[in-house]
Amino acid sequence: MPLSMVSVGEKNVIKKVGGKEDTRRFLENLGFVTGGTVTVVSEINGNMIVNIKDSRVAIGKDMANRIMV
């Protein structure tokens, strides 16, 4: 299921990062790699703040839909 469907506070393991090569590379540079743990901190109108690799990152709904957990 995409990251955009995850509940706030729930820990999940990233299964796959989709999208074009540029998008995948951008997300991997932020820490969204297969096997990594991601926790949703907050969600407003589909935009999310997530904890990934001891950092907080804000991503839009379109990016969250490309990250499968």
Give the C-alpha separation, 22 to 55, whole Å.
22
- 35 — pLDDT class (breaks 50, 70, 90): very high
Average pLDDT, whole number, for the chain? 92
**Would the pTM of this model clear 0.85, i.e. be above it?**
yes
**Any idea which residue has 């109108």 for tokens?**
45
- Domains defined along the chain, listed by start: 3-68 (2.30.30.90)
